Amino acid sequence: MWQVIGLIISIILIYLFFRYKYLKFSNKIVTSIDNFINEKYEEDNINKETLDSKIESKLYKLSEVVKGKNEKTNKAKVEIEQMVSDITHQVKTPISNIRMYSDTIINNNLSKEQENEFLNIISNQVDKLEFLMDSLTKMSRLETNMIVLNKESSKFMDCIEKAKEQVKPLAESKNIEIRITGENCIVQYDKKWTLEAICNLLENAIKYTNKNGKIIINLEKLETFLKIDIIDNGIGIDEENINNIFKRFFRERKVNNIEGVGIGLYLSKNIIESQNGYIKVKSKVDEGSTFSVFLPL
């Protein structure tokens, strides 16, 4: 009889003991989850070797992953909002001009000469919109990793010669001499997109170099990189803006009267960096700028 009572008491005590341990453990888990939600952690507890600490450590790591993803999502949201705002601003002016000159032609009895003048202006604004849309498409494809770069070994002088030929009409319109110097190295690069990057840099140099100016393209083989210097004797860049010129849609105030939308340098930087290269800039106001492209050998 007493043995049965003792056995029952033992079972009850064991049950109460494990129930206590279970409740304590459950409360600890609930506290850890609350800490996870409120981002409150005690580093001493996380680094212990107990089961509670291991669980809290895992929750802490989970919290860091969730936090990182939230920050990435918020950053992407801000960037998208900024891009939409920038695009709206860029598109607004040509559309307004097209509407204004179209209304003028429709609602006024203009001479044939005036009509042709306004139609030419409208055509120029359409060209600007087309260029902008094309640039935005390239930008979007680069940012979403939709562009697959096909790198192959080739002489880089071929790329430079093609770039020079493409910008030749723009250079000749300002009587700007483009001279190529240096050594012809073999580099692994994507011919199409690298040509785009170099052309953008050359067009930028021509655009901000005065008439009768000079641009030198120099190729120099370094230990692990090919360095391509594009040197102009143009208007230069204000020191305070050196870190901003590769930002999307950025343009210095002093060049607002020069045609452009501020995408070319941004595209060039992304294309070169996508090939594990980089671009550096040195510039002095009224003396000129040097854009140095570094591509791995």
Cα–Cα distance, 52 to 36 (Å, whole number): 14
Residue 44 predicted with pLDDT over 80: no
pTM: 0.65
Question: How many Å apart are CA 215 and CA 157, to the nearest integer?
Answer: 16
Q: Give CATH 1.10.287.130 domain extents, the chain.
A: 41-146
Report which DSSP code applies to 147: P
**Would you tell me the crossing angle of helices 51-107 and 112-143 to the nearest 10 degrees?**
170
Asked if 213 and 233 count as a contact pair (C-beta separation under 8 A), the reply is yes
The set of residues, in sequence order, having a beta carbon less than 8 Å from that of 270 and lying 6+ positions away, is 139, 142, 143
Which stretch of 38-42, 132-136, 232-236, 287-291 has the lowest confidence by average pLDDT? 38-42
| Mean pLDDT, residues 152-164 taken together | 94
Q: What mean pLDDT comes out for the span 11-32?
A: 68
177-182 and 214-221: which strand pairing? parallel
Collapsing DSSP states into helix, strand and coil, what is residue 177? strand
Instruction: Give 41-146's CATH code, choosing from 3.90.1300.10, 3.40.50.300, 3.30.70.1060, 1.10.287.130.
Output: 1.10.287.130
Express each pLDDT in 93-149 by its tens digit: 788 888 888 888 888 888 888 888 888 888 888 887 887 777 777 777 777 776 778
Residue 88 has pLDDT above 80, yes or no: no
Rounded percentage of the chain residues whose pLDDT exceeds 70: 73
**pLDDT band at residue 59 under the 50/70/90 scheme:** low
Is residue 54 over pLDDT 70? no
Mean pLDDT of the chain: 81
The mean per-residue pLDDT over the stretch 284-294 comes to 93
| Mean pLDDT (whole number) for 247-270 | 77
| Four-CA torsion 13, 18, 21, 23, nearest 10 degrees | -100
Note whether 156 and 219 are within 8 A (CB): yes
Helix 191-207 vs helix 264-273: crossing angle, to nearest 10: 140
Summarised one tens digit per residue, pLDDT across range 185-213 is 899 999 999 999 999 999 999 999 999 99
What is the DSSP-derived secondary structure letter of residue 175? Answer: T
Backbone phi, psi, residue 288, to 5°: 130, 180
Strand pairing category for 214-221 and 225-232: antiparallel
CATH architecture of the domain with residue range 151-296: 2-Layer Sandwich (3.30)
CA Rg value for the chain = 32
What burial letters (b/e) apply to 123-142, b meaning 16+ CB within 10 Å? eebeebbeebeebbebbeeb
The residue ranking higher by pLDDT, 38 or 275, is 275
Q: Could you list the beta-strand ranges (E) of the chain.
A: 151-155, 177-182, 186-190, 214-221, 225-232, 278-284, 288-296
Report the greatest alpha carbon distance in the chain: 123
Q: Which of 277, 271, 270 is CA-nearest to residue 293?
A: 277
The structure tokens listed for 281 are 């800039």
In the chain, ranges of CATH 3.30.565.10 domains: 151-296
